[in-house]
Chains A and B, each alone.
Chain A
Amino acid sequence: MWRFIGSRLLQAIPVLLVVITVTFFLVRVAPGGPFSSEKAVIPEVKAALEAQYRLDRPVLEQYIAYLGDLIRGDLGPSFKYPGRSVNELIGAGFPVTAELALYALLVALLIGVGAGVVASLRPNTAQDYIPMSAAMIGICIPSLLLGPLLILVFGIYLDWLPVSGWGDMPGDKILPAITLGAVYAAYIARLSRAGMLEVMTQDYIRTARAKGIPEWRVVVVHGLRGGLTPVVAFLGPAFAGLLSGSFVVETIFQVPGLGRFYVQAAFNRDYTMILGATVFLSSLIVVFNLLSDVLNAWMNPRLRSRAGQNT
């Protein structure tokens, strides 16, 4: 197990290095320097600014210095908000995004696993078709459409829930969490249905039933552990999707999270912020993929040896 985790960690390092390098040089070759938009900057001021951001040095030197800063956990100053560091901006935005992603994941897991298991108990009956049709609807109505529709119905027509903000009013976290989680609920419903259908025909389930264990216990205790393996494997990619999905959801509901900062930084050409946020988000995604793999290997011992051989 530890060897497995170790080999996966070693694989993560080149991935992160590729991300950092590619992002760094992409940002450097971008047309228009970060200060070219400011009109009538006195040459001395511009030179001072460039010196402050190390832009007067050769690119390779900048790159090495940036890597050095990164190792110390310093993502540098923001181009757009003088005096604020990228660390501060991420520190302000990330907790909000993390909270949103967590609620969305909870929504997705509760609804998704519930619907999937219910559907799998009586395949090809109404009990199967209704939740699975709902899942299909969830997949085909993307968040950028679902969000505005929910706002229109629950925020404006029914006037039940606030439509923007985060933590300002009671209930303003409900609509963003549902909007972000809906698609994943749909995928998880499909995955858990397929997983349960496969597991429930296996011998150990028959044995459990033969021992006279109540059916709900067979399903919940014996079935779920095997049946949810595909869901656990999906959690890593789902987390990456939740983070990028938060770009849209935070924009729709005006949630002051990292996704919204990132989109704003993209519009403002705040290159250090983009660079820092990309590095930060990539590291997070790599870590979560790793966690998802480890969890999956723990639940499914056969994968461990196979993964060990590959590396």
Chain B
Amino acid sequence: MSTTSISALVDAEQGSSLWRDAWLRLSRNRPALAGFAVLTLFVLVAILTPWVAPYDYAQQNLELGATPPSADHWLGTDIFGRDLLTQIMYGGRISLAVGFIATAVALLIGVSWGAIAGYMGGRIDAVMMRLVDILYALPFMIFIVLLMVVFGRNMLLLFLAIGAVEWLTMARIMRAQVQSLRQQEFVEAAVSLGLSPLAIIWRHVIPNALGPIIVYTTLTVPSVMLLEAFLSFLGLGVQPPETSWGLLISFGTETMEEYPWLLFFPGLVLAITLFALNFLGDGLRDALDVRGAKD
């Protein structure tokens, strides 16, 4: 989904008040706004990390060792004397990148799949959705572990594997939307004007199905981030020298008795991010009045 089509849509809808209403409803929802603010902050920090991080990522100070939070090291240091805040910032780059990129992969596959199936209908639809049903029944967590073992632990594969798991629900939601949309007069008008199916899907169907897609996308990001944390925690995801929040929590767990802050702060950051995403997702769902997207 490109931003141009969203803004084009917003321009086209100036007269009607659907999106403005939704924005009004969202702006009255304090938890959702707070979630949005926190996310924006975290994403900005993640992007700017190489410039704003207080210390060098790899810089060790073995003499210092693990120290609790202090004026020099706001969140303390780990057993190698590395600044924990710096570690968390660099870890956040990876955790957030996995969250957003894998969700984008899921979005791309799911939306196209669902739109084509829903628009074509008939046998093509039946075959495509039956495939989704079959994939739904697979134990994907196990499969991702398997993939990481077989192909080694590389980041690109992690993105693709997680994205490939999460597109299924997106495809179902999109198909349901398209099925109800294609009965509408404006789509029939486009068909009678001789537009190709692809053009109709892209120009008329997808923009009108944006609400549920936006909501579900927001709710997919936290589940993707959890999956990454889960894999890294088991040692099957992100590998040192790279780091992620899941990996930091995993290391923090090993020494939590002596140095609890090494577990506490990475955990806190992950939990705050998940809170922010869930609040924003719930808020968007209420604002756009989408029913049935997750619970």
Q: Do A and B come from one complex?
A: yes
Q: Give the B-binding residues of A (Cβ under 8 A).
A: 11-12, 14-15, 18-19, 22-23, 26-27, 29-31, 136, 139-142, 144-145, 148-149, 151-152, 156, 187, 190-191, 194, 230, 240-241, 243-244, 247-248, 251-252, 262-263, 266-267, 269, 274, 277-278, 281-282, 285-286, 289
- Is B146 a contact partner of A26 (Cβ separation < 8 A)? yes
- Is B145 a contact partner of A262 (Cβ separation < 8 A)? yes
Q: How far is the CA of A174 from the CA of B23 in the complex (A)?
A: 45
19 A-B pairs within 8 Å (CB atoms) are namely A11-B133, A23-B146, A139-B274, A144-B246, A144-B249, A145-B270, A148-B253, A148-B267, A152-B257, A156-B257, A194-B295, A241-B141, A244-B141, A266-B146, A266-B236, A277-B142, A278-B139, A282-B138, A285-B137
- Among A136, A191, A241, A247, point to the contact of B234 (Cβ < 8 A): A247
- Is A247 a contact partner of B295 (Cβ separation < 8 A)? no
- Among B137, B230, B263, B275, point to the contact of A148 (Cβ < 8 A): B263
- Is B142 a contact partner of A18 (Cβ separation < 8 A)? no
Q: Which 4 residue pairs spanning A and B have beta carbons closest together?
A: A244-B141, A140-B274, A30-B150, A145-B267
- Is B278 a contact partner of A267 (Cβ separation < 8 A)? no
- Among B145, B151, B263, B270, point to the contact of A142 (Cβ < 8 A): B270
- Among A139, A244, A282, point to the contact of B278 (Cβ < 8 A): A139
Q: How far is the CA of A194 from the CA of B292 in the complex (A)?
A: 11
Report how many A-B pairs have Cβ atoms within 8 Å. 116
Q: Nearest-CB distance from B232 to chain A (Å)?
A: 9
Instruction: Answer whether residue B189 sits at the interface, using C-beta atoms and an 8 A cutoff.
Output: no
Instruction: Answer whether residue B8 sits at the interface, using C-beta atoms and an 8 A cutoff.
Output: no
Q: Nearest-CB distance from A163 to chain B (Å)?
A: 10
The residue on B at minimum CB distance from A183 is B226
Q: How far is the CA of A241 from the CA of B165 in the complex (A)?
A: 14
Q: How far is the CA of A85 from the CA of B167 in the complex (A)?
A: 37
Q: How far is the CA of A247 from the CA of B142 in the complex (A)?
A: 10
Question: Within 8 Å CB of B145, what residues of A?
Answer: 247, 262-263, 266
Q: Nearest-CB distance from A151 to chain B (Å)?
A: 8
17 new A-B pairs (CB below 8 Å) besides A140-B271, A148-B253?
A11-B137, A136-B278, A142-B270, A152-B260, A230-B295, A244-B139, A247-B141, A251-B233, A252-B253, A262-B145, A263-B145, A263-B236, A266-B145, A266-B149, A267-B235, A285-B139, A289-B137
- Among B149, B233, B252, B295, point to the contact of A191 (Cβ < 8 A): B295
Interface size class of B (residues with CB under 8 A): 35 or more
Question: Within 8 Å CB of B146, what residues of A?
Answer: 23, 26-27, 266, 274, 278
Instruction: Answer whether residue B128 sits at the interface, using C-beta atoms and an 8 A cutoff.
Output: no
Q: How far is the CA of A257 from the CA of B35 in the complex (A)?
A: 38
- Is A18 a contact partner of B230 (Cβ separation < 8 A)? no
- Among B234, B235, B256, B271, point to the contact of A152 (Cβ < 8 A): B256
Question: Within 8 Å CB of B141, what residues of A?
Answer: 240-241, 244, 247
The residue on B at minimum CB distance from A15 is B137
The residue on B at minimum CB distance from A263 is B234
Instruction: Answer whether residue B229 sits at the interface, using C-beta atoms and an 8 A cutoff.
Output: yes
Instruction: Answer whether residue B103 sits at the interface, using C-beta atoms and an 8 A cutoff.
Output: no
- Among A30, A148, A281, point to the contact of B139 (Cβ < 8 A): A281
Instruction: Answer whether residue B86 sits at the interface, using C-beta atoms and an 8 A cutoff.
Output: no
Instruction: Answer whether residue B9 sits at the interface, using C-beta atoms and an 8 A cutoff.
Output: no
Q: How far is the CA of A278 from the CA of B140 in the complex (A)?
A: 10
Question: Within 8 Å CB of B267, what residues of A?
Answer: 141, 145, 148-149
- Is A248 a contact partner of B139 (Cβ separation < 8 A)? no
Among B142, B230, B233, B270, the one with the most A-chain Cβ atoms within 10 Å of its Cβ is: B142
Q: How far is the CA of A179 from the CA of B85 in the complex (A)?
A: 27
Q: Nearest-CB distance from A43 to chain B (Å)?
A: 26
Question: Within 8 Å CB of B278, what residues of A?
Answer: 136, 139-140
- Is B257 a contact partner of A243 (Cβ separation < 8 A)? no
- Is B137 a contact partner of A12 (Cβ separation < 8 A)? yes
- Is A152 a contact partner of B139 (Cβ separation < 8 A)? no
